[in-house]
Structures are given as structure tokens and as C-alpha cells.
Amino acid sequence: MNDSRGPWYLLTGVMIGLALGVLWGWYVAPVRYTDTQPSSLRDDYKDEYRTLIALAYAYNGDPGRAQLRLALLDDPNAPESLAALAQRANALGRPAFEVQAISQLAVVASAPSAGVPTAVPLTVFPTLTPPPAATATATSGPETPTEAPQSPTPTATPPPTETPEPTGTGTVAPTAAPTGTTFPSATPQPTPGSPFILESRLLTCAGPGDPLLVVRTLDDSGTGVPGVEIILTWTENEEHIFTGLKPELGLGYADFSMTAGTVYTLRLADGSQLITDIQPEQCESSGGQLVWGVLELLFVRP
């Protein structure tokens, strides 16, 4: 090299090395995450995770455990996410018990943690310790990263008692030791009560809009019952809807937009009486206009 060029060659070397280092770190041997948390799952996998939580809850009837599992997804809008998931599952024709399970879980998610009934014996459930950040391991082999590099945004605060474990070879690291966290144990789900009985049938004038059928289900204490499957049939069609998919309107609430001129029959899947001759009706609003009314059926479980 010609000494007359000055020290710029050093800066050139640093820049070349920098570029090589970044290329190596991002493309050849990127940071590879093992031991991730459920909160980092892709959205569709989160939905599967929620469905699993719901089915597990439908089996064990343990709201405390269900809430802890939901917390792992770090979703501040869990009730809304679950209600939307239940609606999608219903639209996709998923089994009724799955839709019911998800809507039941939406109710659990909307209940405050301290208010969840845990009238079951407490036993040690060792998993689901607070999540540390995922373990980062640099791989040595060629690999194409699938995620775009972004600014680091820590998603979880590691607990002070737990330290990430080294994973020098890129394998799944050992897990956290049992911490003795107490969780309610699994208990069988309570058996359903007697069939619902139609308590009232009321037409109200809510204003302009499509004719709407509203179904409310209450238990004997007047509390809304979510997850009740409602079967609507008309001409040669059938539709299944569920209470509790709009928890903001009540746990036992379900609605259905009717079509003018169509006559529907309705029954609850638990074997309630058949309600016939359901059809859109018009009524006079407070302004004197003729509008479609909201037909509300109230079912009570005695």
C-alpha cells in the first residue's frame, strides 16, 4: 500500500468489517430464539392456543388456571379476542362445543382475577412460572432469517429469581425449576341444569334498522348464561348462534338479524321448547314512524 494515502484505509477496513459483521449477524448466523413464550406466537397460533385453553377449561372447569394460561398470551383485550374467535369459529362451522368453550372462556377472561371463584382445593401446579425473555443463541450454520430486524423491544420483565440458561448449541434449554406456585386443581365441570323455559316475548321499537331477534338466557338467580347454543331454522336453512359472544351486552345475550318476510323457528340446543312463528314485526317509533322492532325472547333456567 502507498503510505501517501494516509490513514483512511483504516476507516475503510472498519466499514468493510462492519458490513460483514452485520451481514453475518442478520443473515448467516442471526440470533436464534429458542425457549420462547406464548406471547410471541404468531396470531393464528395464538388463536389455536386460546382454543386449547378453552377446551382445557371446558374439561377441568378451573377458571384460575384458565386465567393464568390466558395471561401468558399477554393480550390486554382477551375478552374481545375470545369473543371474536368464537364468532369466527362459529362462522367456520367448528363444533358447537368448541364455540361454547371459547365463549365460556371469554366470560372467564372478563372476570377480575380476584373475583374468580376457586372453590376447589389448592394444589401445587409447577409450570407457568413468570416468563423470562426468550433465550438468544447465535447459530453457526447458514440460516435465512424470517423476521425483519427491528428495534429491540423487551416484551417481558424477567423475574429476579430466574436467569436465562445458556444454550450454546442452539438446543432447547432446560426449563425453570418448579416454583411451587399454587393453582387450583383440575375439577370436573358442573353438570348443566334443567332446560331453559321461555319466560317472555317482547317487541320493542328501537328505531330505524334491520329487524333484530335478541335472545337472553338467565339462570335461576337472574345471571346471564353464556355459551348457550341457539338453533334457528327457516325454510331450508339453519343457523346456530351462541350467547356470550358479545359480553359487553350481557353474558346471556345473543342476537340475529332477521330478513323481512321470513318466518323462523327457534330452539335451544339443550332441549328447550320449540318457539315458532318468529318473524320481523313493525311497530311505531316515538316519532310516529313505522320501524322494524326488536323481538326479544327471554329464557330462564328454573
**Placement of cell 323481538 in the chain:** 295
Q: How far is residue 116's CA from residue 109's CA, in Å, rounded to a whole number?
A: 10
User: Residues 107 to 126: which contact another protein by CB under 8 A?
Assistant: 123-126
| Comparison of 173 and 298: residue with beta carbon closer to another protein | 173
The alpha carbon of residue 152 and the mean position of all alpha carbons in its chain are separated, in whole angstroms, by 26
| Comparison of 37 and 87: residue with beta carbon closer to another protein | 37
Tell which one of 174, 261, 287, 288 touches another protein (CB under 8 A): 174
Tell which one of 77, 88, 113, 127 touches another protein (CB under 8 A): 127
Q: Does 158 bind another protein (CB under 8 A)?
A: no
| Comparison of 127 and 223: residue with beta carbon closer to another protein | 127
Does residue 119 contact residue 281 with C-beta atoms inside 8 Å? no
Using DSSP, state whether 27 is helix, strand or coil.
Answer: helix
Which stretch, 12-20, 215-223, 256-264, 284-292, contacts another protein (CB under 8 A)? Answer: 12-20
Does residue 49 contact residue 66 with C-beta atoms inside 8 Å? no
Which stretch, 127-135, 214-222, 255-263, 286-294, contacts another protein (CB under 8 A)? Answer: 127-135
| Comparison of 31 and 298: residue with beta carbon closer to another protein | 31
Q: How far is residue 127's CA from residue 93's CA, in Å, rounded to a whole number?
A: 33
Show the binding pattern over residues 33-52: x = contacts another protein (CB under 8 A), - = does not: xxxxxx-xxxx-x--xx--x
Number of residues that bind another protein (CB under 8 A): 73
| Comparison of 33 and 256: residue with beta carbon closer to another protein | 33
Q: How open is the CA angle 167-171-174, to the nearest 5 degrees?
A: 65
User: Residues 223 to 242: which contact another protein by CB under 8 A?
Assistant: none
Q: Which residues contact 87 (CB under 8 A, 6 or more apart)?
A: 245
Question: Least CB distance from residue 219 to another protein, whole Å?
Answer: 23
Which stretch, 9-17, 82-90, 233-241, 284-292, contacts another protein (CB under 8 A)? Answer: 9-17
Does residue 224 contact residue 184 with C-beta atoms inside 8 Å? no
Which stretch, 169-177, 237-245, 276-284, 285-293, contacts another protein (CB under 8 A)? Answer: 169-177
Rounded to the nearest 10 degrees, how much is the dihedral formed by the CA atoms of 81, 271, 224, 49?
-20
Which stretch, 104-112, 130-138, 215-223, 288-296, contacts another protein (CB under 8 A)? Answer: 130-138
How distant, in Å, are the alpha carbons of 23, 170, 171 from that of 148? 13, 20, 23
Question: Least CB distance from residue 263 to another protein, whole Å?
Answer: 36
Using DSSP, state whether 284 is helix, strand or coil.
Answer: strand
User: Residues 135 to 154: which contact another protein by CB under 8 A?
Assistant: 136, 138, 145-147, 149-153
Q: Does 26 bind another protein (CB under 8 A)?
A: yes
Does residue 70 contact residue 53 with C-beta atoms inside 8 Å? yes
Tell which one of 87, 110, 118, 185 touches another protein (CB under 8 A): 185
Does residue 299 contact residue 199 with C-beta atoms inside 8 Å? yes
Gyration radius of the chain's alpha carbons: 28
